[in-house]
A and B are shown apart, each in its own frame.
Chain A
Amino acid sequence: MLASSRIDPKRRNNLDHRKRQFAQPQWQQQKYEYGLNFYVLPPTAEITLEEFEEWAIARLKVLSELESCTFRNRTPEETTNYMTPILQKHMPLNPSRSSTAQDERKTDHYSHFILRLAFSATEDLRRRFSRLETMLFRLRYKEEDARERKNFVDSLGATMGMSWEKVSEDEVQELGADLRAATGYAKKGEDEGWFKVDWEKVPELVESRKVLLKRGKAYVPVREQQSLVVAEFGRRLDAALELTARALPRLDEDDRLSPILAHLSQSFTAPEATYDADSSPSGLAPTHQNIDALSQHFPLCMQHLHRTLRQNSHLKHYGRLQYTLFLKGIGLSLEECIMFWRRSFKLMTDEKFTKEYKYNVRHAYGDVGGDANRRGRGYTPYSCQKLLTEALPGPGMTHGCPYRTFTVDNLVAMLQQTGVSDRETLKGVREDVARQRYHIACNRVFEYAHKSEIKEVKNKGVWGEAELDTILHPNTYFKRSFLLKHLGEEGYSGETNER
């Protein structure tokens, strides 16, 4: 009985929803008052197929560049500097008084919705799209003229019921020093004042302890309003993408759009550096016995894991995972890999090893675990991006990128142990690390260690630009190092194209 009374209103709602959706189509031209857009209403005017594709590709270009900024660990300032010309070229948004403003805003609006269609199909794409669109929105929000931004935010309050409770003077008095200790002092020329919201609305400010929390409420300084607006943008976009995904099957009937959309979403999957496990140097036959010898070609992250393993005859979980995948990437077979770990954990009984560790190795290789159809070949080896963006290792853990996780002094000591003693190089590394360009530091070390060989291949012209591009994957590091040290040797001629 209870159940039936619960279902009824749901059904009624559904009906209402459909009615609402199809009742009054608004086929009028929209006017864009603000440069910023929450993309609430879908566009309704007609555009040509060429425009459809062209606009979408331009936006896609911008989003990919944005993604590569996170990938290269650029700071917000660097990202802004890098992105400004790109945005100006592909998707300019001029202030309201400009004559092109309306057209630009229309393009922005339409291209957003086209990509929304293209990227709502799978959970992965949705998440990625939402993350990048939110980044784009944040970037534009910051760059927007202060007055226009204020007008836009006010309009949000008026049209979408988005407003935030201001903290009263009395309460500010009462909270006193706590409030300022948590949120810092306002800079000159900034308004001082706070909003009071449920803490769930500003998770990233909570995570970095930039707000005061009291009984579930977060006190957000006015200058962080950006976070509130951006969080709301992301939240609404996520919800809208879910809805789009559900409506997507109906779109299949349109055979003009589907191929374009499919093509768009495919080209979106390119930027992350992937590594093809098959492309380990041909002729190289790694076994559990020669890993020690090969380890001279490993990047610092893997050397660190290898040394720790030899020292302690053990590695913690994430270190094992990272190292196993790397070894898989250099072409170590599953059997050899299991043998490698078995021998390395020499203080452990066979029984314990089999019970607690073997499964994970097999799992990483895709030998067990997961749905047989989806399992594939297990995990792919971690890229630098992955290593640089994951959480820092806790006590006793050794995974991650040492350029990021070590203090500079420990890092330099470690580099010296591995034979990098050149003062200039070390100085460069210190600078890179201070500017958080960890992968640049790693590449610098690589170039130092292979100085003469790189010169040789450049002079002979055997390796092209692409083959000496910045290294973004530990396995690329290994492969390139290995090939450079075996130049001209029979059997190691493996093509070096990276994908």
Chain B
Amino acid sequence: MPHSTSPELSLQEDSILPDAPARPLEDGLDNTSEEESSAGTQTMDDSITDPASKANANLEDMFEDDDEDDDFSSSAPQASSEAASQDTIKPAPNTSSSDPEVMKAFYQRLFPFRYLFQWLNHSPSPTNDFGHREFAFTLRNDAYLRYQSFPTADLLRKQCIQLNPSRFEIGPVYSTNPRERKALRRATAFRPISKELVFDIDMTDYDEIRTCCTGANICSRCWTFITMAIKVIDAALRDDFGFRHILWVYSGRRGAHAWVCDRRARDMDDAKRRAVAGYLELLKGGDKSGKRVNAKRPLHPHLERSLNLLRDHFQADILCKQDPWASPEKAARLLELLPDKELNKSLQKKWDSAPLRPSSQKWADIDALAATGASGSLDTKALRDAKQDIVLEYTYPRLDAEVSKKLNHLLKSPFCVHPATGRVCVPIDTRRVEEFDPLGVPTATELLAQIDEWARTHDDGGEGEEEKKKVQDWEKTSLKPYVEFFRTFVGGLLKDEKGAVKRERQESESMEF
């Protein structure tokens, strides 16, 4: 392998972290050997008792997990040739995920464990926020290890390298260390107490309205659905709920996750999570439920704002690019959503004579025919409302709301590699969400090749060797902007947390004296 790691290199990576706050792991490093061995035996334990540890999962959770599994294994991973066409020696992208060596090297050299630690720990020195946090590993043989926890970033990293999971998920912080849960006398002493508020948007929920691709496939045309969803949800979370630390992450294939990290969001119980999800959820009912958006008038300001955000997308991306009512059968669906029977009849007549009229024209026909008085009893307000509802039905975010409603739901960690596509789950910068191209996201294989490439181009013999050692592996690759974005995000969060802790301390002190 061209990108096999030498041990010194990986050690070095740990010690050189110019922007890490004040060597938080000093204590941890001193007794590494001891902790490492204990972590090692723990692992053995848990992998042997795998069914049991899995069994301990909350019943509902077990069931919820499985649909997500569906999407990993179904159909062949799409080849992503245009994005991956650098002239480096590497296996084809679709084999990258099945290559354990690639994953191992990825964890060793590229995965930003330090920032992940800071993100979840909310403080430079290790706290229970990290130590009592559940991690769950999906191993290569598809075994699922729940209730893993780690005192420090280093131990998490070691475990990842050793187990080499195809992905891992992040759960809540528990009241006690998840590894010790079986030693507790009372089962109730082990309960989840905090977790980021999370959202999951997946393209499968759009299958009935997207015309370009189906199933696991995506293209830039249908990615627009996700872009629209991000815009709407992000605006609501910030303007309405006042959340500030919202991390959007590409899920690696055809969706996006959001992690709302504000303390106020992390401390929410299930009822509050359900409230937020309910506030954001608009489409109700299954395939047979008829018209699925029936918004109350006047529109709630959140819906009004969403409609304004979505209107242009509807014109450009839905009507023109998706063309959802092109065929007569599909146009029937449009008529189903319109309120006026007479108007529908004249529309039907018009479209019968030109069955393949594009959607944008059919959409325009509605107003045109209404204006000519095709229906005597036309309620213009009802028609306008129905048209707004249709815009919302075709553009408003479709959340997998169950994920958001439960404090103890697990979600795949940022920077994991999607097993089917090989792409890294990178953060999405909402300020430039339009520019995000899921097909341009680097795969683990490409990134490792880039490290080698960097070494080749910087191989100028002797000079600046010291300098070069200070450059971390991720900085040599196209992962760099994503890690930097994440670092900035975590920095902002930590700054706020520090402020909050200080304020709290002051308050408690002033109360005591």
Of A101-109, A187-195, A401-409, A451-459, the one with at least 4 CB within 8 A of chain B:
A401-409
Smallest CB separation, B77 vs chain A (Å): 15
Q: Are A317 and B67 in contact (CB under 8 A)?
A: yes
**Nearest B-chain residue to A234, judged by Cβ:** B271
What is the predominant secondary structure among interface residues of chain B facing chain A? helix
**Nearest A-chain residue to B182, judged by Cβ:** A371
- Which residues of chain B from 399 to 416 have a CB within 8 Å of any chain A CB? 400-402
Contacts of B398 in A (CB 8 A): 394-395
Query: Size of chain B's interface in residues, with CB distance under 8 A?
Result: 58
Q: Are A396 and B63 in contact (CB under 8 A)?
A: no
Tell me whether A213 is interfacial, beta carbon within 8 Å: yes
Q: Are A206 and B278 in contact (CB under 8 A)?
A: yes
Given contacts A206-B276, A217-B242, contact A394 B205 (CB under 8 A): yes
Residue from B63, B207, B302 within 8 A of A360 (CB atoms): B63
Smallest CB separation, A410 vs chain B (Å): 4
Q: Are A409 and B290 in contact (CB under 8 A)?
A: yes
Q: Are A209 and B55 in contact (CB under 8 A)?
A: no
Of B280-288, B437-445, B452-460, the one with at least 4 CB within 8 A of chain A:
B280-288
Of A83-91, A350-358, A432-440, A441-449, the one with at least 4 CB within 8 A of chain B:
A350-358
Q: Please encode chain A, from 362 to 405, with 1 for each CB lying within 8 Å of some chain B CB and 0 for all others.
A: 01000011111001000100000000000111111110101001
Tell me whether A199 is interfacial, beta carbon within 8 Å: yes
Q: Are B73 and A407 in contact (CB under 8 A)?
A: no
Residue from B64, B285, B296 within 8 A of A393 (CB atoms): B285
Residue from A9, A212, A368 within 8 A of B512 (CB atoms): A9
Contacts of B299 in A (CB 8 A): 181
Q: Please encode chain A, from 410 to 422, with 1 for each CB lying within 8 Å of some chain B CB and 0 for all others.
A: 1100100000000
Q: Are B70 and A356 in contact (CB under 8 A)?
A: yes
Contacts of A400 in B (CB 8 A): 286
Contacts of A359 in B (CB 8 A): 62, 66
Smallest CB separation, B320 vs chain A (Å): 23
| Complex CA–CA separation, A178 to B283 (angstroms) | 22
- Which residues of chain B from 40 to 75 have a CB within 8 Å of any chain A CB? 51, 54-57, 59, 62-64, 66-67, 69-70, 73
Q: Are B286 and A397 in contact (CB under 8 A)?
A: yes
| Complex CA–CA separation, A357 to B65 (angstroms) | 11
**Nearest A-chain residue to B206, judged by Cβ:** A395
What is the predominant secondary structure among interface residues of chain A facing chain B? helix
Q: Are B59 and A370 in contact (CB under 8 A)?
A: yes
Q: Are B62 and A123 in contact (CB under 8 A)?
A: no
Contacts of A208 in B (CB 8 A): 278
Contacts of A392 in B (CB 8 A): 284-286, 289
Q: Are B286 and A209 in contact (CB under 8 A)?
A: no
Smallest CB separation, B372 vs chain A (Å): 29
Q: Are A410 and B288 in contact (CB under 8 A)?
A: yes
B interface vs A, CB < 8 Å? 51, 54-57, 59, 62-64, 66-67, 69-70, 73, 142, 188, 204-205, 207-208, 239-243, 264, 268, 271-272, 274-279, 283-291, 296, 298-304, 398, 400-402, 508, 512
A interface vs B, CB < 8 Å? 9, 123, 177-178, 180-182, 199-200, 203-204, 206-209, 212-217, 316-317, 321, 352, 355-357, 359-360, 363, 368-372, 375, 379, 391-398, 400, 402, 405-407, 409-411, 414
Nearest 5 CB-CB pairs, A to B? A216-B242, A207-B278, A407-B290, A203-B275, A213-B240
